[in-house]
């Protein structure tokens, strides 16, 4: 992998979430070659929990075979792969197996024989939960501390990491994606313990390369986190998913200033720059337009960019973030999707508009920017990393996030005078 990674989350353009259930080797091969050609060096492959672990005591051999074939194709295309274990946040909804929710009485019967009765605690909100391609509204079990849930997660790690840990395509492992959206940890200590134990399990079973945890901006605005400091303590690289609007950054599409602020905040908290996942909904003639959308159970007004504005954003962001020491910028999607992920009402419309390639596979302007950037030699000069005053940040993270963002904006305005 290069010192600065340009990556993308991969779902096949035509089959989307059917990647593991019905893989098309020819389609995957062609798309991997297309992504390599424009300068993508890293793919995030989401191992949907339901497909890879249909029951807490069983990992699906069919999904493992499909993954093996896909990793071999990635090797042929000279792509590094980060495998996403427990990728719960998918296209604006929470994807997980039914047995990880309050809906599964069969799981209760199976797991209670080993761990005693399972206790369900009401979550702060109910985002749409997806399994068997159907939306559900129920509670999520405590994925962070419940002994039965932790044992099931360790089972998945043992099977997947044990089998693929030394595959040449692998450059890293992502321990979770948006777990805090499905169910917030009970405390920052509970989150830190989960991160440490999960990282240890991946390493014990032979996982090589970099370990990551992909958090949302909400994790930076809640006391329970997970905190970037806990990730660094466990030798896990923080990853922040930036798909606005979110919180005090307002309703605008993300700009370079916002991306630099988020990276600097994480650096100030933990002493390490995070990788960033960027999702920018862009459509033809989309400038200054919005859509009413939903994301993880919340109704939002989603601003859009047009394709040229999206390209201009990345033309500035890529060199600036690399110079600042950010290790990676990964796109939320490789392709735009003509068909929504099923069920349509559970997922965000915006997720269909974030790709480097259009719904017909045609290259979008942002792909040309990525290709040009990938061919450039990084400057030998470095930019002095800013820091923010984060003393007492976790006493009231939502308030401090707003304060620091206002201070950042004011400082930039002063520098421009």
- Which tens digits make up the pLDDT trace of 259-292? 999 999 999 999 999 999 999 999 998 788 899 9
Enclosing domain of residue 129: 5-416
Distance of CA 128 to the CA centre of its chain: 18
Which residues have a Cβ under 8 Å from the Cβ of 397 and sit 6 or more positions away? 220, 221, 222, 223
The token pair at 147 is: 């002994």
Mean pLDDT of 318-340: 95
Is the Cα dihedral 274, 242, 129, 121 positive or negative? Answer: positive
Percent of the chain clearing pLDDT 70 (strictly above): 90
Is the Cα dihedral 169, 175, 179, 180 positive or negative? Answer: negative
Domain count, the chain: 1
pLDDT at position 111: 57
Measured at the CA of 125, the angle between CA 123 and CA 128, to 5 degrees, comes to 110
Place of tokens 């994790």: 219
- Which tens digits make up the pLDDT trace of 185-243? 999 999 999 999 999 999 999 999 999 999 999 999 999 999 999 999 999 999 999 98
Q: Which domain CATH number covers 31? A: 3.20.20.80
Among candidates 26, 30, 2, which has minimal Cα distance to 334? 30
Confirm if 278 and 253 have CB atoms less than 8 A apart. no
Report d(CA 233, CA 256) in Å as an integer: 28
Predicted confidence band at 297 (pLDDT cuts at 50, 70, 90)?
A: confident
Report d(CA 400, CA 136) in Å as an integer: 35
pLDDT at position 373: 96
Across the chain, what does the average pLDDT equal?
Answer: 90
Predicted confidence band at 120 (pLDDT cuts at 50, 70, 90)?
A: low
């Amino acid at each position: 992998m290069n010192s600065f990674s340009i990556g993308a989350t991969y779902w096949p353009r035509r089959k989307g979430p059917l990647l593991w259930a019905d893989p098309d080797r020819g389609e995957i091969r062609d798309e991997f070659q297309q992504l390599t050609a424009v300068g993508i060096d890293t793919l995030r492959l989401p191992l949907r929990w339901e497909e890879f672990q249909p029951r807490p005591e069983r990992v699906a051999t069919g999904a493992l075979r499909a993954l093996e074939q896909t990793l071999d194709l990635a090797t042929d295309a000279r792509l590094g792969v980060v495998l996403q274990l427990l990728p719960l946040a998918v296209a604006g909804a929470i994807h997980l197996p039914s047995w990880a929710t309050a809906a599964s009485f069969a799981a209760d019967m199976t797991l209670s024989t080993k761990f005693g009765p399972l206790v369900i605690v009401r979550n702060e909100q109910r985002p749409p939960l997806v399994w068997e391609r159907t939306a559900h509204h129920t509670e999520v079990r405590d994925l962070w501390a419940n002994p039965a849930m932790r044992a099931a997660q360790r089972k998945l790690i043992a099977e997947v990491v044990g089998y693929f840990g030394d595959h040449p395509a692998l450059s890293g492992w992502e321990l979770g994606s948006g777990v805090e959206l499905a169910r917030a940890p009970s405390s920052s200590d509970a989150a830190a313990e989960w991160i440490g134990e999960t990282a240890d399990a991946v390493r014990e079973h032979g996982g090589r390369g970099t370990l990551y945890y992909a958090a949302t901006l909400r994790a930076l605005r809640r006391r329970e986190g997970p905190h970037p400091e806990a990730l660094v303590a466990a030798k896990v690289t923080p990853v922040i998913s930036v798909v606005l609007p979110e919180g005090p950054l307002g309703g605008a599409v993300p700009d370079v200033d916002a991306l630099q602020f988020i990276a600097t905040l994480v650096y100030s908290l933990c002493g390490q720059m995070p990788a960033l996942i960027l999702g920018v909904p862009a459509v033809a003639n989309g400038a200054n337009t919005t859509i009413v959308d939903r994301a993880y159970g919340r109704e939002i007004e989603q601003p859009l960019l047009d394709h040229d504005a999206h390209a201009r954003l990345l033309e500035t962001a890529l060199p600036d973030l690399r110079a600042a020491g950010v290790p990676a910028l990964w796109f939320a999607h490789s392709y735009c999707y003509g068909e929504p992920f099923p069920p349509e009402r559970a997922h965000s419309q915006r997720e269909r508009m974030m790709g480097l390639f259009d719904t017909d596979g045609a290259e979008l302007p942002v792909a040309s920017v990525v290709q040009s950037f990938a061919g450039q030699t990084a400057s030998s000069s470095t930019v002095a990393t800013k820091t923010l005053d984060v003393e007492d940040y976790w006493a009231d993270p939502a308030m401090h996030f707003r304060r620091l963002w206002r201070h950042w904006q004011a400082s930039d305005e002063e520098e421009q005078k």
